[in-house]
Amino acid sequence: MPHPSVADVFPDQPEPYRWIEGEPEFDPVRHLQLERPERSRTLADLGYDDRFIDGQASEIAMFSPARVLSDEGVAALRDTIGLLRPHVRQAPDGHRATGFLRGTVFLSKFVRDLCRCDEVTDFASDLFGTPLAPHTMVYQQGHMNFAPEDLAKPVDAWHHDFVGFDYVLMCHDPADCDGGDFQYFLGTREEGHAIVSRGEAIPDDRIATPRFPGAGHACFMQGSAVYHRATPLRRRAERVSLVNAYVSLDVTRPDPTRTFFVTPEGPYGWIEDHPETRHAYAEFARHTAWLGREKLSRLLADLTLDADRETATAALREAASDIERAIRTLEIGPRHFTEMEELRRRQDEELLG
Ligand SMILES: [Fe+2]
């Protein structure tokens, strides 16, 4: 059962999704093998300053690969992926990742139950030292990246995530792949983005390439603060990664989730006439409603009757701020991705105060 705070946020399966048939049933006892990662890097290690770190729910940026699935769990996930294959989309040229699948929690009960299972959520909460819940933007649960059909393209280009917390789970054994490495930048997202935007390559000595011992291992990270990619494959291979996102239930820090709507051109996989696109507005409104509700609950718990006028006003303003920002974003509507990037940068700056 998901945390009570988010239980009513996840919608039932919407049209036109149908469950795949013949998939295994997720069983945490048989399918999980949670083993703590050995190493971590803090946000400070990546060069973030105190102002930035104070605005995040955890000081940890990144963990070395942790075992998540048992051998049986890997086999069950692979069976499920085989059934999901017909749904994989190859995005048009210019999009960030070419082979991908979203809305998996509306297609596969196995993926849905894995992405929302309490054991993994508690494991991740413990690692980051903040209470997490499966992400309230449901399309951010169980996103999958697949090898592109054109080998020259990266599996996923340099970027930072639109969500605060997530993991990248290898569904294949990376040892079977020539290339297709998950990598991250040893620096801040702003610095990484600036280098890539100038058309320069990130120096090798500033790139970390975590070594995954096998399928079923995952890197847990604050994806919004870790600039990362997956390199091109040098030979055709079965490469599939599953990215599952979380929100922190500590809403005293600014929401790291970023949502903007983009026109079809550009690298963010916004494809017209797909359910994911049609559902994006309500999904964002539902996420914002959850966040506002959490903040209002906190106000009711914390605001005492002797609070003065200024304190009461500030408390209400803060509780309503995400709703007001979301309304502005919805009113702006779809924009070209370069404009969306600028809106994102401005909002990052604004939210850090
Ligand atoms: Fe990512």
User: For the segment 55-101, what is each residue's pLDDT rounded down to a tens digit?
Assistant: 999 999 999 999 999 999 999 999 999 999 999 988 766 666 678 89
Q: How confident is the model at residue 263 (pLDDT cuts 50, 70, 90)?
A: confident
From ligand 1's centre to the CA of 312, what distance in Å? 39
From ligand 1's centre to the CA of 244, what distance in Å? 10
Element (H, E) at 41: strand 40-42
Per-residue confidence (pLDDT) for residue 94, from 0 to 100: 60
How much of the chain, in percent, has pLDDT values that exceed 90?
81
From ligand 1's centre to the CA of 227, what distance in Å? 8
Structure tokens at 166: 């997530």
Which of helix, strand or coil describes residue 120?
Answer: helix
From ligand 1's centre to the CA of 299, what distance in Å? 33
The burial class, CB within 10 Å (0-12 / 13-18 / 19+), for 163 is: buried
From ligand 1's centre to the CA of 154, what distance in Å? 13
In whole angstroms, give the CA distance from residue 218 to residue 72: 16
Per-residue confidence (pLDDT) for residue 155, from 0 to 100: 80
Per-residue confidence (pLDDT) for residue 218, from 0 to 100: 98
Q: How confident is the model at residue 198 (pLDDT cuts 50, 70, 90)?
A: very high
Higher pLDDT: 120 or 148? It is 120
Per-residue confidence (pLDDT) for residue 319, from 0 to 100: 96
Per-residue confidence (pLDDT) for residue 5, from 0 to 100: 85
From ligand 1's centre to the CA of 160, what distance in Å? 6
Per-residue confidence (pLDDT) for residue 268, from 0 to 100: 61
Determine contact, residues 81/240, Cβ cutoff 8 Å.
Answer: yes
From ligand 1's centre to the CA of 222, what distance in Å? 10
From ligand 1's centre to the CA of 297, what distance in Å? 31
List the domains of the chain with CATH numbers.
1-249 (2.60.120.620)
Instruction: Dump pLDDT digits (tens) for 265-280.
Output: 766 656 667 898 899 9
- Residue in this structure with the two tokens 């017209």, named with its chain if needed: 272
Per-residue confidence (pLDDT) for residue 130, from 0 to 100: 97
CA distances from 259 to 22, 162, 271, 343, 347 (A): 35, 7, 15, 10, 10
Concatenated DSSP letters for 192-233? HHHHHHTTPPPPGGGEE-----STTEEEEE-TTT--EEEPPB
From ligand 1's centre to the CA of 300, what distance in Å? 36
Instruction: Dump pLDDT digits (tens) for 305-342.
Output: 999 999 999 999 999 999 999 999 999 999 988 898 89
| pLDDT higher than threshold 70 for residue 258 | yes
| pLDDT higher than threshold 90 for residue 300 | yes
Question: Could you list which residues have their CB under 5 Å from ion ligand 1?
Answer: 161
Beta-carbon neighbour count of residue 48 at 10 Å? 22
Q: What is the mean pLDDT of residues 126-140?
A: 97
Element (H, E) at 77: helix 71-84
